[in-house]
Structure formats: structure tokens, C-alpha cells
Amino acid sequence: MLPNKGITTARSPKPEGTFAPLPPLRFQSWSHDEILAEFLDNCLPLGATQEVPLSWLRSLVSMEKEVDALPLAMSALAIGWAGHADGEPRLVDKGLQLYNAAVRQLRDDIQGHSPLQVLATTVIFTVYELFEFGSGSSHGWLCHVSGIAATLRILGPEMVANEPYLQIYSFVRMVFMIEGLRRRQAACAAAPMWRTIPYARSAKSQFHKFLDLSLQATELVEEADSVQISANPGAFGRARETLCHLIEHIRALNKWEEEAQISLINGPPETLGGTVVSPPQAVDRTTLRGYPSKIPKGAPVAFDSVQNARLMHLYWSVLLILYMTILDNAALLSELAALQKALQLDSTSYGHPAQMMTIHQIEREANRLADNITLYSEFCCQNLWQSFGPMVSIFSLETAIRWYRSYGRNREESPAPNRYLEHCQALLDAVRMQSDERQAFDDYQNATFGTIDVLRLPWCRPVATT
């Protein structure tokens, strides 16, 4: 049984007496399946050649429901979205009521019921929080990560290789990766068995090949952060080994980019005037919300173009984190300098991965990556076909901001490049939930499962609070 103490749900909806009873909704006579199908028809693209991250939700429409929490969660997501998208507070509150009811119901359903439907329900909770409908926090999705990990561990990678488990797992891999890089700790999905066994019978798309590399990057940043300058002779060898792992992984990511041949629209979608960038002072919050907008008729931008830009935005961010991991670590920098000197004296070491990785080259490449993130930021932050809420946009913008604050575009340039930082910060402020809009997040930590034993298992590290 799950503990009753210390478990909270999302913020409470408005008290019943604060407004008149809800008017009849057009959803009211619909089934939960019809409500979810309406949401998907309004948000998911048609005719996309690339994987649509939220497409796994369609598999739930025709599924016989064995877990009572699942239809409640489906309706909570769809009705909550309709309320936010159409500016209908009563629908927003109705969705929140259903969400809280589903969270409570899952605690009763968790034992002895379909693990597939428990997993699907928990991932819907995550999507609800990614869209910022529940806790009112840009990081509310962390509430349910431990619950997803617990269910996946019970299933094992062999079971996850079957549909529709695989579609659901493919969606949450992104969540695990972002969480791991935020915490700078190895993601639970980074283990080799979780990168290989589920996909043993299916070919991976370029997107999932990239996710494999990014999940491995979570292990590398954790390893690098544990390396320190020491007089111990063994520490030098460990620093060199870690440095080489980072350099080799950067090369692997570069190779992925060459092979993927991601096609971007001609030039940055925003003209920021080279080194002179104007902050987006007039950004309309409603155009940058984390939930997906209704598909506009005759949309000028195709789904594939948006997804390509978002994938490259994320690729630049992961690479930038790896470069900063080297620059931020005195032991790795010292080892890089020593390795460069040794390579200059050894003519037989031609082709060593560190040979083309001087500190100056790292800084120059990091500048380019941060600038690319800035140039494509508003285009990638739009809520058209947004599958992961603002999670990825916040992650990328915070990465670029950390670079600009720590290193700047170029230490020798004029103050004008600070406008890149101003642009990212203004956009981040527009995308992220503001302090007066947020609930205290601590109350929602592990809302689904409470402090259950899975958090002490090595497969799933405890989720950091925000």
C-alpha cells in the first residue's frame, strides 16, 4: 500500500461557491475517448513525415480501460487544454478537478492493475504538468518522473519493446534526458539495456539516435563533475580518461549531425542584426505558452520544419553543455593543456581526438552554438505543435544564458554582444512561469507516488526539487 501521509495533489480548484454552476459543456455527453480524440484532432499534425511525440495518445482512445484513473486523466488533459486554449476559466477548473481526481484514483488503482495503463496514466499526468496546467510551475512535470521510472522498472526493457509501451517510452526518454542534464546526473534511461533492448526489433529515427547520445551525455557530465585537481597520481589518469570521453562524445554528436542532414529553413527565422540583437520587449505571452495551440488553417510553417529546428536547438544545447563542462573544470582544463603539449611533441599521435580541441577552439565553437540557440529561440518557443511544454525551451535558453554570463560571446568584443544575453533572458522571462504565477513546488514533489521505496533504487535517482 502507498503511504497516505505527505502526499499532495495539484493546487485546488476554486471553491464551489465562488461562481455559478458550470454551464452545460459540449463535452458533457461525450465519452472520455471522444474528449481525448477531439484534443488530438485539434493539436496533432496530419501528414507529418517525422515522429509526432504525442501520437501515442491515440492508442488510448480504443483501449479498454482497466484503470479507473486513466479515463479521468485523459479528460483532464483534453478539457484543461480546451480551457486554456479558448480562455475558458470554467473548463480550466473542470480539468483541474479531473486531474486531482485522477491522481487520487491512481493511488487506489496502483496495486494489481494493468502496468501499461498505470504507465499511460502517469505519463498523461506528466504531459498535464508539462503544459503547466496543474501545479502552476514550469517544473511541475518533475512531480511524476519517479512514478514513470518505477513503473518502467517493474516492466523491464523487454516488455517495453512491445507496443504501445514503446511509443510511450519513446516519449518519456526526452523527459528523462532533460531531467538528467538539469541535475547533471546520469538519467535512468541512459543505461545500455534501456537504450538498446526496447529498440531491438525496430529501427531508430535520427531523433532517437540523438536521444541515445544525449542520454549518454548525462553520464559524462556526472563523471566530469566528480573529477577534481589532486596530487594523487591516479587522479591525473582519471582526468585524462574523462576528458577523452567528453571529446569523443562531442565528435560522436558532430558525426550524428553530418549523417542526419537536418534541413533547416533558409537562414535563422529571426533577423537579429549580426552582433546587435534587440530584446523581445513586446513578446506576447499567449503566443509562447507551453501547451500546443489549435492547428491553424493554412499554417505557413510545416510540422517537419518546426521539429527540425527544435531538434537542432536541442542539439546545440547539449553540445554547449559538454563544452562548458570542460571549461568549467580546472582539472580537465589542466589535462587538456598537458595533452596538447604532449601531442605536439609526439608525431605518432596524429589523429588523436584532442588534437583539434584547443581551449580557443572550444570557446569559439561554444560561441557559435550559443548564438544559434539565440537566433532560433523565438521560432522554437512558439506553441504550435508543442509536445513537451516549455521544458525544452527553458532548458536551451538557460544553457545559452549560462554561457553568456560565464564567458560572453567574445571577451574582447564590445558590450554590444550583451544583447544576445538580454534577448535570451527576456524570452525566458516570457516563457517561464513568473514567481507570482507559481505555486510552492515543494508541495507537489512526487505527487503521484509519495515517498515510496523506488526512490532509493539505483535505477532511479531521487528527483531534485526546484
Tens of pLDDT along the chain (466 residues) come to 223 333 334 444 444 333 334 333 444 446 888 899 989 988 888 777 778 899 999 999 988 888 899 999 999 999 999 998 888 899 999 999 999 999 889 888 777 678 899 999 999 999 999 988 877 666 778 878 888 998 899 899 999 999 999 999 999 999 999 999 999 999 989 999 999 999 999 889 999 999 999 999 999 999 999 998 765 666 668 888 999 999 999 999 999 999 998 888 655 555 444 333 444 444 555 566 778 887 766 655 688 888 899 999 999 999 999 999 999 999 999 988 888 777 665 555 545 555 567 888 999 999 999 999 998 988 888 888 888 988 999 999 999 999 999 987 555 454 445 888 988 998 898 887 643 343 333 333 333 333 233 323 333 333 333 3
In one-letter notation, the amino acid at residue 48 is A
Query: Residue 26's pLDDT is what?
Result: 47
Give the contacts of 322 (CB within 8 A, at least 6 positions apart): 217, 220, 221, 246, 249, 250, 253
Task: Identify the three-state secondary structure at position 303.
Answer: helix
Q: How far is CA 216 from CA 12, 176, 198, 250, 281, in A?
A: 39, 11, 16, 11, 37
pLDDT at 384: 80
Angstrom distances, CA of residue 298 to CA of 44, 45, 302, 303: 14, 12, 9, 12
Distances 75 to 80, 132, 456, 465 between C-alpha atoms, Å: 8, 16, 33, 28
pLDDT given at position 264: 81
Give residue limits of the domains in the chain: 1-198+440-466
How far apart are alpha carbons 426 and 270 in whole angstroms?
15
> Which pLDDT value is given to residue 263?
82
pLDDT at position 10? 45
d(CA 333, CA 306) in angstroms, rounded, equals: 37
d(CA 204, CA 195): 10
Give the CA dihedral 428, 430, 432, 435, nearest 10 degrees: 110
Please give the Cα distance from 384 to 223 (Å, whole number): 37
Tens of pLDDT, residue by residue over 117-155, are: 999 999 999 999 998 887 766 677 887 888 899 889 989
pLDDT of residue 5: 31
| DSSP 8-state symbol, 387 | S
pTM flag (> 0.85): no
C-alpha cell at 324: 562548458
Residue type at 310? R
For every residue of 84-144, DSSP letters joined together read HHHT-HHHHHHHHHHHHHHHHHHHHHSSSS-HHHHHHHHHHHHHHHHTT-SSS-TTGGGGG
pLDDT at residue number 438: 39
The candidate with the shortest Cα–Cα distance to 388, out of 80, 172, 84, is 172
